[in-house]
C-alpha cells in the first residue's frame, strides 16, 4: 500500500496530526503540574496534597482541545485511508490532506492560545470540508456493495 503515493501522502500528514495530539497530552500534563490541578487524588497526594485534586480552567481547555481532536482527527485517519484506495489524483488528494492538516493545526493553536472567536470554529469548519468531500466520494465508490 505504501507504493500507492496517495496513501503515503495521507500517512505523512496523519502521523504529524497524531504527534500533534501527543503534544496536547504533554501540554495538559505540564499545565496540571504548573497549576497544581490533578484528575486523581493519588496524583494530588504525590504533588503536595489532596487539595490539589481539583479542576482548573486551563487544564479543561487543553482537554477540550484534545477531545475535539479525537472527534475529528480519528475519523480522518479512517476516511483518508479508504479515500486513498478509490484512486484519486495525487494533486487533489494532497489538497484534501493539506487543508485538513493546516486547519486542524490552526484549530489547536486557536484553542490553546485563546484566539478571538470565531477563529477556532472557522478552522473546525474548514477542516471538515475535505472530510465531507472524502466521505461523499468514498460512499459513491462503494455504494453498490451496500
For a second copy, the binding residue among 34, 39, 48, 92 (CB under 8 A) is 39
**Residue 85 interacts with a second copy (CB under 8 A)?**
yes
Identify the DSSP state of 114: T
Cis upstream peptide for 118 (omega within 30°): yes
**Residue 121 interacts with a second copy (CB under 8 A)?**
yes
Nearest to 46 by CA among 60, 57, 32: 32
**Residue 30 interacts with a second copy (CB under 8 A)?**
no
For a second copy, the binding residue among 59, 79, 112, 127 (CB under 8 A) is 79
**Residue 40 interacts with a second copy (CB under 8 A)?**
yes
**Residue 23 interacts with a second copy (CB under 8 A)?**
no
54 in Cβ contact with 37 (< 8 Å): yes
In DSSP notation, 13-29 reads HHHHHHHHHHHHHHHHH
User: 3-state DSSP: the chain helix, strand, coil percent, rounded to 5?
Assistant: 80, 0, 15
**Residue 66 interacts with a second copy (CB under 8 A)?**
yes
> 53 forms bridges with which residues in the sheet?
38
Which residues contribute to the site for a second copy (CB under 8 A)? 1-2, 5, 8-9, 11-16, 18-19, 21-22, 25, 39-40, 42-43, 45-46, 61, 64, 66, 70-71, 74-75, 77-79, 82, 85-86, 114-118, 120-121, 128, 131-132, 135, 138-139, 141-143, 145-146
Amino acid at each position: 500500500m505504501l507504493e500507492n503515493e496517495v496513501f503515503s501522502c495521507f500517512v505523512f500528514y496523519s502521523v504529524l496530526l497524531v504527534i500533534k495530539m501527543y503534544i496536547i497530552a504533554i501540554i495538559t500534563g505540564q499545565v496540571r503540574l504548573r497549576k497544581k490541578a490533578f484528575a486523581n487524588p493519588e496524583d494530588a497526594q504525590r504533588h503536595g496534597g489532596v487539595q490539589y485534586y481539583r479542576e482548573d480552567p486551563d487544564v479543561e481547555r487543553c482537554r477540550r482541545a484534545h477531545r475535539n481532536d479525537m472527534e475529528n482527527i480519528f475519523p480522518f485517519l479512517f476516511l483518508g485511508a479508504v479515500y486513498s484506495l478509490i484512486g484519486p489524483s495525487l494533486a487533489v488528494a494532497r489538497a484534501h490532506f493539506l487543508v485538513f492538516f493546516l486547519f486542524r493545526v490552526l484549530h489547536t493553536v486557536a484553542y490553546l492560545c485563546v484566539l478571538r472567536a470565531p477563529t477556532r470554529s472557522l478552522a473546525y469548519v474548514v477542516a471538515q470540508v475535505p472530510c465531507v468531500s472524502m466521505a461523499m466520494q468514498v460512499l459513491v465508490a462503494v455504494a453498490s456493495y451496500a
